[in-house]
Amino acid sequence: MALEKQIADTEEARQIAAMMERARAAQKQIENYSQEQIDELITAMVWVNCRPGVAEKIAQHTVDESQLGDYNGKFLKISVKTRAALMDIINDKSIGVIEEDKERNLIKIAKPVGVIGALSPSTNPEATPVIKAINAVKGRNAIIIAPHPRAKITNKMIVDNMRSALEQLGAPADLVQAIELPSLELTNELMQQCDLILATGGPGMVKSAYSSGTPALGVGAGNACITVDETANLDEAAEKIRISKTLDLAASCSSDNTVIAVESVYDELLKKLIEQGGYLAQAGDYEKIAAVLWEDGHLNAKAVVKPAPVLCEMAGVEIPSDRTFIIMPETGYGPEHPYSGEKLSVIMAFYKVKNIDEAVELTNNIQAYQGMGHSCGIYSNSDENIMKLAMGTKTSRVMVNQPQAPSNSGNLWNGMRQTFSLGCGTWGGNSTNENIYWKHLVNVTWVSKPLPTPKVIPADDVLFAKVINKVN
């Protein structure tokens, strides 16, 4: 547990302090729960939100309140993603001895952190509270969730469901709490007073988390780049790019922001993307849409996460009503080429390169502008090309022949940990590259016993054999 912190004498500080007091009392009550008891709690926390009738209500309310994304995307997240996240951790041992290393004679014991301060974004406000809460409780922690103001009622609805489930199982409801009227001041106070921050949100909020003085797990900005090489199944690639690009109207930071095609398949891939519902931007569209999508160099909150025809209508661009995403030919990267950055919209920049080596170089250049360390992907049947991309890019995740947005945070078709918190490593200014889950939300005590036979340092002519005759 963290040492007691000095609390400022403000209304916001007092409000958070009261919530923290209740959270600490609740956490203390479950500190000695068994694995079976904890797993029952998290199972109930998911069920009360994903069950038929409730999931539909949450999905619709999320769209109505946030005005971001679409019903189908929200329903998949609250109904399917939460189930998958539960399934991913339910059999994990998170209490007591969680690992024994017999070779080194070490025993590792998991212990709760205390109270997690969780920041929830406007783009994924339906499943994020559930997934963060079950991972916190899996480690026998309490959690206080600070929602984006644009989704505060949705957040309260979900948290209230979890609190009710906890009470019905005899556990304290205050294990899960929500800031009901969020403000920057309250969020800052939460970050000051909690034991660990789990921050999912914009770069500004994540930076605040890291500079709060409280240990923090933050995530970097997304800007996924997808390579399609000469060995790819183009029908499969086009379909999966469409699935990823249009999922929840590109609310996810993992949406395909850029597609990089090797020149030998460029024209055929473009044709298939159009067949999948893509609109190829025409002369003049670049500037018109950019003028609406960005304001003073920043994404316009009123223009992001909209259906393609709606965004184009805002920009004065006419497109057929059946087009679901926009293909924007691009050649450069950086501020002078805004479509090379994250767009939070159903627009994908489309590039042509000669080969996989150019694709690796372009991916790094694009993500040096925005999204370094987050993720990239490739459609390929060449292990050599796949490993060239993986070895050559500064990225934490490489999705192979999978739709990026529903895959890099974990899905049923891969082994990635289920989460909505994607660490980007030092490339993205984060402390971890991993998909963040309960193991990041516990302290671990290492028990070290003497080795049966002590290790022996080899003789110099053995230990230094490779260099002893090469250096003075």
- Residues 333 and 362 sit within 8 Å (Cβ to Cβ): yes
Q: What is the Cα–Cα distance from 107 to 98, expressed in whole angstroms?
A: 8
Q: What is the Cα–Cα distance from 179 to 16, expressed in whole angstroms?
A: 9
Question: What's the start-to-end Cα distance of the chain, in Å?
Answer: 50
The single-letter DSSP state of residue 81 is: I
State the Cα torsion 347-319-239-80 to the nearest 10°.
70
Query: What's the longest Cα–Cα distance across the chain?
Result: 77
Give 336-393 as a DSSP string. TSGGGS--SSSEEEEEEESSHHHHHHHHHHHHHHTTTBS-EEEE-S-HHHHHHHHHHS
- Residues 123 and 344 sit within 8 Å (Cβ to Cβ): yes
For residue 244, give the H/E element and its range: helix 234-246
Token duo for residue 359 = 């694709």
In the block, residue with structure tokens 């926390």: 45
Give 67-79 as a DSSP string. --S-HHHHHIIII
Q: 50, 194, 225, 253: which one is catalytic?
A: 253
Give one word for 105, left, alpha or beta, with left for phi > 0 and alpha for psi -120 to 50: left
Q: What are the two backbone dihedrals, phi and then psi, of residue 147, each rounded to the nearest 5 degrees?
A: -85, 165
Residues in the chain: 472
- Residues 421 and 436 sit within 8 Å (Cβ to Cβ): yes
Burial environment of residue 445 by CB neighbours within 10 A (0 to 12, 13 to 18, 19 or more):
exposed
Q: Which residues of 258-291 are buried (b: 16+ CB within 10 A; e: fewer)?
A: bbbbbeebbeebbebbeebbbbbbeeebbebbbe
Q: What is the Cα–Cα distance from 249 to 346, expressed in whole angstroms?
A: 6
Please give the radius of gyration of the chain, using alpha carbons only, rounded to the nearest integer. Answer: 24
- Residues 74 and 63 sit within 8 Å (Cβ to Cβ): yes
Q: What are the two backbone dihedrals, phi and then psi, of residue 153, each rounded to the nearest 5 degrees?
A: -75, -40
Q: What is the Cα–Cα distance from 329 to 349, expressed in whole angstroms?
A: 6
Count CB atoms within 10 A of the CB of residue 22: 18
Whether 253 sits among the annotated catalytic residues: the reply is yes
Give me the active site residues, please.
253
